[in-house]
Chains A and B, each alone.
Chain A
Amino acid sequence: MADREILREKFNKLFSEWLRAISDPRIASSSRPQDYTQNKPYREIIALGRDALPLIVEKLEHGVFLLNEAALAVAGRDLAQLIELEKAQPSRERVVDVVKKPMVLLSEQEKSRLILRHCRGG
């Protein structure tokens, strides 16, 4: 089995374990993204490293914005950096209006869009 397939299998297993972990009502009733990241499968997804970034990006593309933190962690970025990168884009090419919106006003989906634009492929 190729390394990539082994990684995908490992990732899918951890992703399933994470879904199980966050079905705990104490987590599932929470709107606070951090509550979804403080568990073993999530940490193990991050521990897969930069090679797992394409797999995480796939999930972000399907709307799993709760993996935003994992994407930033494996890409070695933080949101403030992405906002600066986005500000540097011509205004008509920005995917999120980061000039008008401070970070506290960004939705989780908008954060995903910034990650997809600036972290995809490293």
Chain B
Amino acid sequence: MQVIASSFGNLELIVLEGGVLAHYYRANADPVHPWYRTTAFGGPATSAPSLIQSNFGGRGNFELVVREGDQLRHYWRDNDDPTLPWYQGALFGSKASSAPALIQGSLGSRGNFEIVVYEGDRLRHYWRDNDDPALPWYCGQLIGSNLGGAFPLVGSDESYVSAAPALMQSNFGGQGNFEVVVCEWDPSISANRLRHYYRDNDVGIWCTGVLLSDYIKGMPSLLQSSFGAQGNFELLTMRGWCLVHFWRDNDSAGFPWSEEIETHAVPPAGRTPTPDEASAFQSWWPNLRNFNITEDANLNTAYNCIAWSVGVTDQAFWPGDEVSAFDTFYASYGWVPSANGHREFGKRKIALWAAIDNNGHIVYCTHASRETRDCEWHESKCGYFMGRIMHDRYQMQGGYYGQMVRFYEKAEPGANVDLTPGFY
């Protein structure tokens, strides 16, 4: 299914219902925001549909493409006709093997329709020339190789539906490039990673971008936001059983991608903080939202965060202010430096925190937190007197402890089991 916000002021939704397409909308003018089902049409559809509102007609028609067998079918709704009829358009393409991704780009005078869809383990580009009165569909280039992405929809009887790639047009290049993010099978880990492709629309060539992350288990969703001067790319998908937000910093050299977990499929240990506790902790760590109390304040003042990070609760440690002192300390407990803080199967991580000056240099180390539960739950003993909390690792940034500057890892069988091949 796909939801868009339309010029009617509503949310519009198309779902596949037993091979036919059904339109729903949410009446946003109604204060209770009811959803209505209007009509079912089309079929036999064999994928999730891709829906946009185009610039055809006075109001902007709805345009929809869906897989029909191994071809693609176009439907459109005339939004200027008071009866809002859906029309069946062309059947085109061949060997399509996933749900399509549809946009109206800026190429041509009116703006062509652009589609990418899986064709086996590659991607096929199609477009419709919207300046030609016959509105012909064209088969474009075949892109990439070894692409994955066939995610069964768990709990659905539409088990043949597979995920669409993510497609958008960015503001890179004179004409605006097409940007695609798709899953790519990595045989070395027997799992999907994310691959970025882009079409340089100034020269009309598809290019291969970076490969990132691992154990991707959901379809990606991609947009260009207003963050940064150029506008960052923002991407949501499932890594393991957690929803993860990736973003590309379009203002930095090399356009680095970052990653931050958004939902925790596993709940934290401990008890919910009282309103007073929540308010106090959030005044010290302004980004903290998801956390539980795992040890009350002043219950055990004999140990501190460093001791907790190595599992000791009857002594306190402070190896020094330098990162090198912590390297020595953690090595003595079997923790070795890790390339990053992202969770991995069969491992736990420690994050070392530090105060950073205006030039980005470490002033002194401040804290350590340890991943004690799947889905990026870290646990921090807060000094000697403020108890212990289980918290979202990222959300502790920007407060008293500064930033994460180094990570350590240690084997723990069974940790992050969702980041294993074949786990759904």
Interface residues of A (CB under 8 A from B): 22-23, 25-34, 63, 65-66, 102, 104-110
B257 CB, nearest partner CB in chain A, Å: 32
Q: Are A25 and B329 in contact (CB under 8 A)?
A: no
Q: Are B382 and A104 in contact (CB under 8 A)?
A: no
- Taking the complex as formed, is B366 at the interface, i.e. its CB lies under 8 A from any CB of chain A? yes
Given the interface pairs A23-B385, A105-B329, the reply to whether A29 lies near B284 with Cβ below 8 Å is yes
Q: Are A31 and B316 in contact (CB under 8 A)?
A: yes
Q: Are A32 and B315 in contact (CB under 8 A)?
A: no
Q: Are B400 and A29 in contact (CB under 8 A)?
A: yes
Known contacts A31-B318, A105-B317, A108-B315; 9 additional CB pairs below 8 A are: A31-B305, A32-B364, A63-B302, A65-B316, A104-B320, A104-B329, A105-B328, A105-B329, A105-B332
Nearest A residue to B364 via CB reads: A32
Nearest B residue to A65 via CB reads: B316
Q: Are A31 and B332 in contact (CB under 8 A)?
A: no
A63: chain B residues at CB < 8 Å are 302
B382: chain A residues at CB < 8 Å are 28-29
B307: chain A residues at CB < 8 Å are 107
- Taking the complex as formed, is B66 at the interface, i.e. its CB lies under 8 A from any CB of chain A? no
Measured CA separation A29–B385 after assembly (Å): 7
Nearest A residue to B297 via CB reads: A28
Nearest B residue to A107 via CB reads: B315
A34: chain B residues at CB < 8 Å are 321
Question: Count of B residues near A, CB < 8 Å?
Answer: 31
Nearest A residue to B368 via CB reads: A31
B365: chain A residues at CB < 8 Å are 32
Measured CA separation A66–B301 after assembly (Å): 11
- Taking the complex as formed, is B381 at the interface, i.e. its CB lies under 8 A from any CB of chain A? yes
A96 CB, nearest partner CB in chain B, Å: 12
**B366: contacting residue among A27, A32, A33, A109, CB under 8 A:** A32
Q: Are B317 and A30 in contact (CB under 8 A)?
A: no
13 CB < 8 A contacts A-B: A25-B284, A27-B383, A29-B382, A31-B304, A31-B306, A31-B316, A65-B316, A104-B320, A105-B317, A107-B317, A108-B316, A109-B316, A110-B315
B318: chain A residues at CB < 8 Å are 31-33, 108
A89 CB, nearest partner CB in chain B, Å: 21
A25: chain B residues at CB < 8 Å are 280, 283-284, 386, 400
- Taking the complex as formed, is B319 at the interface, i.e. its CB lies under 8 A from any CB of chain A? yes
Q: Mark B157-198, 1 if CB is under 8 A from A, else 0.
A: 000000000000000000000000000000000000000000
Q: Are B315 and A30 in contact (CB under 8 A)?
A: no
Most central of A29, A32, A33 by chain B CB within 10 Å: A29
Q: Are B320 and A109 in contact (CB under 8 A)?
A: no
Nearest B residue to A26 via CB reads: B400
Measured CA separation A31–B307 after assembly (Å): 10
B170 CB, nearest partner CB in chain A, Å: 42
B319: chain A residues at CB < 8 Å are 104-105
- Taking the complex as formed, is B125 at the interface, i.e. its CB lies under 8 A from any CB of chain A? no
